[in-house]
Structure formats: structure tokens, C-alpha cells
Amino acid sequence: MRKITVLIVDDSALIRNLLSQILSSSPLIAVVGTASDPYMAREKIKKLNPDVLTLDIEMPKMDGLTFLRNLMRLRPMPVVMVSTLTEQGAHVTLEALAYGAVDFISKPKVDVANRLNEYADEIINKVLMASTVQVRTLDAAMLSSENSPNSGGTSTAKLDPIITGSPKKQMNRSKAQLIALGASTGGTEAIKYVVSKMPASSPAIVITQHLPIAFSQSFANHVNQASEMNACVAQHGQEILPGNIYIAPGDKHLMVITKGSHYVCQLDDGPPVNRHKPSVDILFHSVAQNVGSHAIGVMLTGMGVDGAKGMVEMHDSGAINIIQDESSSVVWGMPGEAYRLGAADYVQPLERIPAQILALKA
């Protein structure tokens, strides 16, 4: 069986060696080379034609973000960024994901050798997953965005369910008061797209996106800039109000509870669920229990199965669920599992999801 070939680009010899050892430990991966700067990387890409690139953000001669932009215009390929767990690292990593990077690996600032090895399985899985992604050129992605509903208003065309829900469920359903959204790999850009189409008068949106805590505020800022709604990192006890977006912090589970006649954010410091904290399953379970048929569930692109069982609970409680289809997902893990479990009422490509939400919320 042919192995996935990887080129590691990092100015640190230590990181190059560590990533080489971790990735080479998988029988499915062959590290075909390393490079200490983008100029060396450019020559090795031409010579070695790797399947996947791991790319450091902070490098001499040319920073990783500039190199990524050039790469995505001229020779698009799957890229996994290697970033530091800092606020600046978070901002640049989110920019890299916007330019077409598939995913990122967090590089700890201290005890790098031990900390990276702790996440060896995750690093291997991210590279293997990246190798399956069809990457478009940056020009094509920008052209698609310019021609999408995002640039000229949300389409109001009739949106039929691919999975037809019970007519009784549809008729008895009350007006939506809350939108619960879960995502992982590829989700930062998918979320920004969805919220960019939501008017300021929309019901509140609660979001669990798998990201480290160091990235939470930067991600909230990116979401806030993309939307007419107001986005923030959720706070414990914060009242959930229409026109606002509440994002789970990267080190706590986000739950929705009722307090009198209001919905309130509750943060939980319990153990990871499905290896994730925050977990989409925790959010969706709380919405099923406390919001029920007043909710719309949305599952976007993501690796793994987190959120699928919670989405089944939402479906059974009377909520209407939308999942992103396979063709528009970076990876159809989480939405695919929700589909297989029968949790979906609608399966839509990303560009149709905002219109689908708006059609259901009235």
C-alpha cells in the first residue's frame, strides 16, 4: 500500500526531528524531506511532490503565512500549520485556515519534546486526514466566495429536505428561539460563512468549535467581524439573547440551561467527552433537554464523531437539524456520523445552510 508522503517545513531543528519521528512511526506515512525555510521548501516541493506539507508560521526569510498564500495560488496542496499556543499564534493560524490550510498542530512553548509526543496520535490523524482533502487554489476559493450567496444576499429558493422529517413534527414545531451549532476540522471558516449571512435580528446562536483556549478570543473576534450579530466567548451565567453568538471557551464545555423564562450559558469543567473539551455532544445534549422543539441544530464539517449522539437527542426532542453535506465538508466525520444515526432533517451544502436556517426560524 502506498504511503502518504510528507514534507516538514520548520526553522527549528528540534521540531523537524520530533515531527519526523512522530509521523514516521505510522506505517501509513513516509516523511520524504524537511526544510528550514520557505525557499528550501519550494525547491523540495518541486523535487519530492509530497502529499501533505506541515508548515511553521514563524520562519526566517519568509513567514509561513506569506508562503502559504503563494502556495495556494500557484500549487495548492494540503497543508497542516504548526502554530504556537499564543494570542498572536491564534490570530495568524486562523488567517492561515482562511487562506486554505486544512488544519493545525499546536506547538507548546515549554517542554516541547514531551508535549508534542503526548499528541502523537492526533498529529498523525490530522496529517492522514489532510491527505484526503481536495484543496482548491486561493483564487478559485475567492472567486467561489464572491459568486456565492454571501456576496449578494441569501438565496430564498425553496429548500426541500433531503431527509423528510415527520409532517406532524414540522406542523407542531414552535418558532425557533435558539440555534446550536457544532464543528471541528474546517469549522472556523464554515462558521464564519454561516454567521455572515445571519441578520442582527436572528435567534441567539451557541457554538462549540474544537479549538484550544488560547485561540478562543481570536476566533470570537473573527466571527464577530464576519457577522451582523454580536459574537463573544461565552461566560458562565451569561444570559442568552437574540442577535448574539456565544462561543464555547477552549477549556470548558458549554451548556444551555433555563433560569426562569430565560436561557443561560453554563460552563462546565468536567472531563473531555469524545476526547474533546469543549464537546459538541455536551452542548447538544443540554439544548435537547432545555430548549427542545424551540431549537435548530446545525452540524458542520469536522473530524470524528463528537456531537452526533447529541444531535440525535435534539432530533428526538423536536428540534430540526441541518447537517453539512459531504461534498462541501473539509472532512465528513461529525456530520457524516449524525447522518448515519438518523439525526438529520436537512442535508445541505455549506452555501445553502444559512438560507435553510432562515427558512426554518420563522
- Residue 82 grid coordinates: 504548526
Nearest to 181 by CA among 362, 335, 331: 335
Q: Which of 10, 56, 281, 306 is catalytic?
A: 306
CA 110 remoteness from chain centre: 26
- Residue 180 grid coordinates: 446550536
Tell me if residue 306 is catalytic: yes
Tell me if residue 10 is catalytic: no
- Residue 223 grid coordinates: 466571527
Q: What one-character DSSP code corresponds to residue 238?
A: P
Nearest to 32 by CA among 58, 16, 50, 15: 50
Q: Is the bond preceding 278 in cis, omega lying within 30 degrees of 0?
A: yes
Nearest to 181 by CA among 337, 37, 300: 300
d(CA 116, CA 124): 11
Tally of CB atoms within 10 A around 242:
13
Q: Which long-range contacts (CB under 8 A, 24 or more apart) does 220-225 make?
A: 220/247, 222/94, 222/188, 222/192, 223/191, 223/192, 223/195, 223/247
Tell me if residue 51 is catalytic: no
Whether the CB-CB separation of 329 and 186 falls below 8 Å is answered with yes
Nearest to 358 by CA among 231, 206, 176, 190: 176
d(CA 40, CA 217): 34
Bridge pairing between strands 262-268 and 253-259: antiparallel
Q: Which of 26, 131, 184, 329 is catalytic?
A: 184
| Strand extents, DSSP E, the chain | 4-9, 29-35, 52-56, 79-84, 103-107, 178-183, 204-209, 230-233, 244-247, 253-259, 262-268, 295-299, 320-324, 346-348
Q: Which of 210, 222, 285, 315 is catalytic?
A: 210
Give the burial string for 146-155 (b: 16+ CB within 10 Å, else e): eebbbeeebb
Query: Which residues carry out catalysis?
Result: 184, 210, 306
